[in-house]
Chains A and B, each alone.
Chain A
């Protein structure tokens, strides 16, 4: 069964958004869940991507991804009307949504995409939503308007100060934790290093912090343990026990090391792909 790209747009350099026809996933998807995409059967690899939105009526899901390696680059080269051969999902446990009070949603880079449906659902559940969106530089900031639509407060930071405040996301996060009415929950999604420091920021204030982990995966259904992480000293599989965990219990250092496992091969695959594309493209 193949899945047609219904729309596709580039959000910023190397970041794409596409609506894809996957009716079964669209009608079952809940915020926090993800899919495994395998572009072309046996020879393509299986990669996890978070569902950034879904429309059960249209039967489509929205994926937002950054071209960081071969498979995501290949996905980025698809055009409207092209097809993805395999999409499995929705996978993982949905985000626990309820009225907590004040929820701080912290997104870093491409992490804004998976954060968006969660933040929207938090607002819908009656929470006061404060969004902190961070990017390396102005042109890499995505989904600002979408977050504005429902955030009670929005703070933008960039590493180089080209837009919003020149700071890391942890700086406004700390300030918010210091307020007299400290937040009831933080949801942080972004690069592992960012999530690690968000957790280090909220911990002294005892603000519960949920993170969504983005480890290496193969099947996404709990049968291999490639995505395993250590949470509170115990082994957990991100694909079935997560992807969301209590950030104060996650062993981020171990997780970051595991994410480097195939660095060499990943670089090699991307290099080969670029060479090949040049030959056929020009």
Chain B
């Protein structure tokens, strides 16, 4: 009986959505659609996998808008003259311009407009923190004084990109005539993919060097399948190959060959360093070497890249068979680790973060999903030490309670430990997700490259390093940041490389 009730209700919703869209479209075509009509459209929720069911699979959680939902959401956009949203997008996608054709159902046009500025819309529509980027300055969100009620630009971008993929639309970007110049791209993450595409388009010979056995960087080893299906990343890599980009995996620059060797011996005219920030930070507390303590990088690499969730069902890489897991940190990597632990069968997953929820750098949507999946948040708490048994295996973490003090250099209120507030949580696994630093390998093996005190590469406004012909961008320059910022820097660097090669 209940079941029937819900299916009827669902059908009704669909019917209502369609009716609403038809009415609005009529007004839209008559030219009588007023801003007040647009404000009245309810923000379209993202259809998603049931929160209980999804705990036991790695399939994507957010299922994407239906065509009706996308067009309704697109109608919420006021088409502001000044389009404040564009300034919030690191690569300046012409947002209102791509949203307008969605209303009319011309998704191809929408996609073409996005593609002028962004090469990975299916990725960015999924993983960008839109609430602090394009959706933050949205006029609709401002009107409701709630960024969650802003136009869902990311979901619309994703809808258009997914629509394009469904059309089997594999338009390979046009490549200019061969110039005879060679460019090396080091690292195949989002920044490297953008550089490779843009430089190849200009007719240069491009080789991408990747240390792992699979390309895609953080998109394949870090961000889990349930947030970013690997098939989407693979399509982008396949497109690079179709453009004639040469991809060499299992090649670690600095060891297999140095940048100097690549430039001087192999005759590359320019190089882009996009190796990311892949050096895990630890807390340097007692017990961090116990069995069962992972860096988030290790935990996620085992799970995502090596498919440890299929261990015993084809995959050979093991991962802890945890019952109680504590994840330390409040960023996206922490959310990904906690949600991965749930899917690996942990009965209890705790998220331990030293500030309050307001200061969490993770995407609001991911925090929401994590809570739905039963992850227990321990806010204003931080581990003091990790306890283990005689076998050297984790048994518990001892935490301190914290309170927020004055704002620090980052503008966030600094967490201050409360003396004597120790308490312990029984766990058999601890995942440390407190951030990543710059891997020192390239710096150590590339004389003349200028680094800052954190080991990040110093570049000018064109992403050029201290070495001629060598450019860098993404996390190795910025410190751990976002996919879209890495793409933005890739764009800048590629333009500079193309310019540099004209004169060379």
The interface of chain A, by Cβ under 8 A from chain B, is 1, 24-25, 28, 38, 41-46, 70-71, 85-91, 218-219, 221-226, 228-230, 235, 240, 254, 257-258, 260-262, 264-266, 268-269, 272
Q: Which residues of A contact B288 (CB under 8 A)?
A: 235
Closest A residue to B311 using CB positions: A265
Judge whether A258 and B256 touch: CB under 8 Å.
no
Q: Which residues of B contact A86 (CB under 8 A)?
A: 213, 249-250
Judge whether A222 and B439 touch: CB under 8 Å.
yes
Complex alpha-carbon distance, A90 and B295, angstroms: 24
- Does chain A have a CB within 8 A of B211? yes
The interface of chain B, by Cβ under 8 A from chain A, is 211-214, 248-252, 255-257, 278-280, 282, 284, 288-292, 294-295, 297-298, 301-302, 305-307, 310-312, 314-318, 320-321, 391-393, 439-441
Q: A44-B316, A224-B297, A272-B312 are in contact. Are A219 and B211 (CB under 8 A)?
A: yes
Judge whether A223 and B306 touch: CB under 8 Å.
no
* Contact among B291, B295, B316 for A269, CB-based, below 8 A: B316
Judge whether A221 and B211 touch: CB under 8 Å.
yes
Judge whether A235 and B282 touch: CB under 8 Å.
yes
Listed residue (B314, B392, B441) with the most chain A CB atoms within 10 angstroms of its CB: B392
Q: Can you add 14 more A-B contacts, CB < 8 Å, to A43-B314, A88-B211?
A: A41-B214, A42-B305, A45-B315, A46-B306, A85-B213, A89-B252, A222-B441, A224-B301, A240-B441, A258-B291, A260-B391, A261-B291, A265-B321, A266-B318
Complex alpha-carbon distance, A222 and B214, angstroms: 17
- 6 nearest A-B residue pairs (beta carbon): A257-B392, A223-B278, A265-B318, A224-B298, A45-B316, A86-B213
Complex alpha-carbon distance, A71 and B250, angstroms: 18
Judge whether A71 and B255 touch: CB under 8 Å.
no
Judge whether A89 and B213 touch: CB under 8 Å.
no
* Contact among B249, B289, B301, B315 for A219, CB-based, below 8 A: B301
Judge whether B312 and A43 touch: CB under 8 Å.
no
Q: Which residues of A contact B256 (CB under 8 A)?
A: 24-25, 28, 88-90
Judge whether B392 and A258 touch: CB under 8 Å.
yes
Closest A residue to B289 using CB positions: A254
Q: Which residues of A contact B249 (CB under 8 A)?
A: 1, 86
Q: Which residues of B contact A91 (CB under 8 A)?
A: 252, 255
Q: How far is the CB of B168 from chain A (nearest CB, A)?
A: 24
Complex alpha-carbon distance, A1 and B295, angstroms: 30
Complex alpha-carbon distance, A228 and B391, angstroms: 17
A-B contact count (CB 8 A): 129
* Contact among B252, B294, B317, B318 for A46, CB-based, below 8 A: B317
Q: How far is the CB of B480 from chain A (nearest CB, A)?
A: 12
Q: Which residues of B contact A222 (CB under 8 A)?
A: 278-279, 439-441
Judge whether B306 and A218 touch: CB under 8 Å.
yes
Complex alpha-carbon distance, A168 and B317, angstroms: 34
Complex alpha-carbon distance, A210 and B436, angstroms: 30
Closest A residue to B310 using CB positions: A43
Complex alpha-carbon distance, A203 and B298, angstroms: 34
Complex alpha-carbon distance, A221 and B440, angstroms: 10
Judge whether A225 and B297 touch: CB under 8 Å.
yes
Q: How far is the CB of B366 from chain A (nearest CB, A)?
A: 22
Complex alpha-carbon distance, A91 and B445, angstroms: 13
Judge whether A225 and B318 touch: CB under 8 Å.
no
Judge whether A28 and B255 touch: CB under 8 Å.
yes
Judge whether A88 and B295 touch: CB under 8 Å.
no
Judge whether A42 and B307 touch: CB under 8 Å.
yes
Q: A257-B291, A258-B289, A260-B291 are in contact. Are A89 and B317 (CB under 8 A)?
A: no
Listed residue (B302, B305, B316) with the most chain A CB atoms within 10 angstroms of its CB: B316
Closest B residue to A70 using CB positions: B316
Q: How far is the CB of B467 from chain A (nearest CB, A)?
A: 21
Closest B residue to A88 using CB positions: B250
Complex alpha-carbon distance, A45 and B320, angstroms: 15
Q: Which residues of A contact B282 (CB under 8 A)?
A: 225, 228, 235
Judge whether B297 and A221 touch: CB under 8 Å.
no
Judge whether A218 and B298 touch: CB under 8 Å.
yes
Q: Which residues of A contact B320 (CB under 8 A)?
A: 261
Closest A residue to B254 using CB positions: A221
Judge whether A230 and B289 touch: CB under 8 Å.
yes
Complex alpha-carbon distance, A1 and B209, angstroms: 13
Complex alpha-carbon distance, A262 and B307, angstroms: 16
Q: Which residues of B contact A41 (CB under 8 A)?
A: 213-214
Q: A218-B306, A219-B301, A222-B439 are in contact. Are A24 and B318 (CB under 8 A)?
A: no
Complex alpha-carbon distance, A44 and B316, angstroms: 5
Complex alpha-carbon distance, A46 and B315, angstroms: 11
Judge whether A24 and B302 touch: CB under 8 Å.
no
Complex alpha-carbon distance, A45 and B295, angstroms: 18
Can you list 7 A-B contacts (CB < 8 A)? A46-B213, A70-B316, A89-B252, A223-B297, A226-B298, A230-B289, A261-B292
Complex alpha-carbon distance, A24 and B249, angstroms: 12
Q: How far is the CB of A49 from chain B (nearest CB, A)?
A: 14
Listed residue (B249, B256, B278, B315) with the most chain A CB atoms within 10 angstroms of its CB: B256
Complex alpha-carbon distance, A219 and B320, angstroms: 17
Q: How far is the CB of A126 from chain B (nearest CB, A)?
A: 27
Q: How far is the CB of A152 from chain B (nearest CB, A)?
A: 33
Q: Which residues of A contact B317 (CB under 8 A)?
A: 45-46, 218
Listed residue (A225, A240, A264) with the most chain B CB atoms within 10 angstroms of its CB: A225
Complex alpha-carbon distance, A254 and B305, angstroms: 27
* Contact among B211, B250, B278, B280 for A87, CB-based, below 8 A: B250
Complex alpha-carbon distance, A268 and B289, angstroms: 25
* Contact among B214, B250, B318 for A42, CB-based, below 8 A: B214
* Contact among B289, B316, B318, B441 for A43, CB-based, below 8 A: B316
Complex alpha-carbon distance, A158 and B257, angstroms: 41
Q: How far is the CB of A226 from chain B (nearest CB, A)?
A: 5
Complex alpha-carbon distance, A226 and B293, angstroms: 9
Q: How far is the CB of A264 from chain B (nearest CB, A)?
A: 8
Judge whether B289 and A228 touch: CB under 8 Å.
yes
Q: How far is the CB of A192 from chain B (nearest CB, A)?
A: 13
Q: How far is the CB of B38 from chain A (nearest CB, A)?
A: 46
Closest A residue to B288 using CB positions: A235
Judge whether A257 and B252 touch: CB under 8 Å.
no
Q: Which residues of B contact A224 (CB under 8 A)?
A: 280, 295, 297-298, 301
Q: How far is the CB of A156 from chain B (nearest CB, A)?
A: 34
Complex alpha-carbon distance, A279 and B423, angstroms: 53
Judge whether A38 and B439 touch: CB under 8 Å.
no
Judge whether A45 and B306 touch: CB under 8 Å.
yes
Q: Which residues of B contact A46 (CB under 8 A)?
A: 213, 306, 317
Q: How far is the CB of A260 from chain B (nearest CB, A)?
A: 7
Q: How far is the CB of A105 from chain B (nearest CB, A)?
A: 25
